[in-house]
Amino acid sequence: MIIKIKNMISWFKTICNIQSLRYIIAGFGIVVILSGCDGNTDRADAYGNFEADEVVVSSEAAGKIQWFDVEEGDVVEKEKVIALIDTTLPRIELDQLLASKSSAEARLVQLKKSVDVQKERLKVIQKEVNRVTKMFQEKALSAQKFDEITGQFKIAQKELEQMQSQALAIRAEVRVVEARINAAKEKLSRCKMVAPFSGTVLQKYAEAGEVITFGKPILKMANTNEVILRAYVSGSQLDDVQLGQEIEIGFDKEKNSDHRRKGVISWVSPSAEFTPKIIQTKEERVDLVYAIKIRVPNSDGKIKIGMPGEVFF
């Protein structure tokens, strides 16, 4: 009897252990299902990194940098003066040209007065010619005297023509000097280096006090108000990609969340390439992908150059 009771107790314990195991398995299954329903596991359709339209600003004049009023990381507005190159020589050249123009204009004014005098002289000689012509026709004047007076009139006419041609030459000279003045003013204005657009200074290549030559880069800047996400898609995803298409992109916010923002596809590579190292895994090293560019607004500056991004079609 005692043996039967012990057997029954052992059987009951076994049944209880099996039932507990079932509850444990069921509970684990529920956890797996719930974790699968968590929205944080939403995978992106493509990955890439943010970049921007970068521009290297070079010097348009040669000379010593008088001052350089920006630092790396500064945000500058379009047309802001960021550097000044020594203006001494361009200013001297401009002053010389302005003096040459004044001199030419003064000679032109003097010549104009001489032309006016010559015209009055011609009027007087013309009256004398008319008088002696009448006398010569009436045989009251010798041919020698007539030829002398008419000759003086012709010489006065030639002198007037010569003065007028000199006036034309001086006017042409003034126009040449004016063109050189405009060139000198442009050269002087290029000593002031201005920002070509509103953006962020990424890198400086020169400092105040350095002597630079024409065309030497002084800084690199980028327009960060709108950034570009260069991402990569597989051939099977190309049907989901169209130029001008608005899509959603994401970038890191916190450990378990991200920012979401709309972007527009602006470029699709016409040829495939191997998966870039920045996003490849060991299994994807031989996969072919297509690069795309997505323009994303960034007026708040939250997106930084080089930051990873995700694409959701």
Q: Are residues 253 and 300 in the same domain?
A: yes
Residue 213 has pLDDT above 80, yes or no: yes
Query: Percentage of the chain surpassing pLDDT 90?
Result: 55
Query: Percentage of the chain surpassing pLDDT 70?
Result: 81
What does the pLDDT look like over 88-136, one tens digit per residue? Answer: 999 999 999 999 999 999 999 999 999 999 999 999 999 989 988 988 8
Q: Are residues 302 and 271 in the same domain?
A: yes
Query: pLDDT at position 24, please?
Result: 39
Query: pLDDT at position 69, please?
Result: 87
> Considering only 198-202, 208-212, 251-255, which range has the smallest mean pLDDT?
251-255
Asked if 308 contacts 44 with a C-beta cutoff of 8 angstroms, the reply is: no
Query: pLDDT at position 279, please?
Result: 57
Residue 37 has pLDDT above 50, yes or no: no
Q: If pLDDT is split at 50, 70 and 90, which confidence band does 179 have?
A: very high
Q: Are residues 250 and 215 in the same domain?
A: no
The residue type at 135: M
Query: pLDDT at position 234, please?
Result: 86
Q: Are residues 128 and 277 in the same domain?
A: no
Query: pLDDT at position 43, please?
Result: 78
Q: Are residues 124 and 246 in the same domain?
A: no
Q: Looking at residues 251-255, what average pLDDT do you find?
A: 76
Residue 285 has pLDDT above 70, yes or no: no
CA-nearest of 298, 225, 294 to 264 is: 294
Q: Are residues 75 and 199 in the same domain?
A: yes
Domain that holds residue 163: 88-189
DSSP letter, residue 196: S
Q: If pLDDT is split at 50, 70 and 90, which confidence band does 27 have?
A: very low
Q: Are residues 294 and 305 in the same domain?
A: yes
Domains: count for the chain: 3
The verdict on residue 121 lying in a domain is: yes
- Give me the CATH number covering residue 156: 1.10.287
The verdict on residue 166 lying in a domain is: yes
The verdict on residue 146 lying in a domain is: yes
CA-nearest of 303, 292, 308, 310 to 227 is: 303
**Is 135 buried (19+), middle (13-18) or exposed (0-12) by CB count in 10 A?**
middle
- Give me the CATH number covering residue 201: 2.40.50.100
Q: If pLDDT is split at 50, 70 and 90, which confidence band does 18 have?
A: very low
Query: pLDDT at position 42, please?
Result: 63
DSSP for 112-161, written as a single string: HHHHHHHHHHHHHHHHHHHHHHHHHHTT-S-HHHHHHHHHHHHHHHHHHH
Q: Are residues 116 and 169 in the same domain?
A: yes
- Give me the CATH number covering residue 289: 2.40.30.170
Q: Are residues 93 and 115 in the same domain?
A: yes
What does the pLDDT look like over 123-166, one tens digit per residue? Answer: 999 998 998 898 888 888 888 888 888 899 999 999 999 999 99
Query: pLDDT at position 4, please?
Result: 46
DSSP for 238-275, written as a single string: GGG--TT-EEEEEEEEETTEEEEEEEEEEEE-SS-EEP
Query: pLDDT at position 63, please?
Result: 94
DSSP letter, residue 226: E
The verdict on residue 77 lying in a domain is: yes
The verdict on residue 300 lying in a domain is: yes
Query: pLDDT at position 254, please?
Result: 67
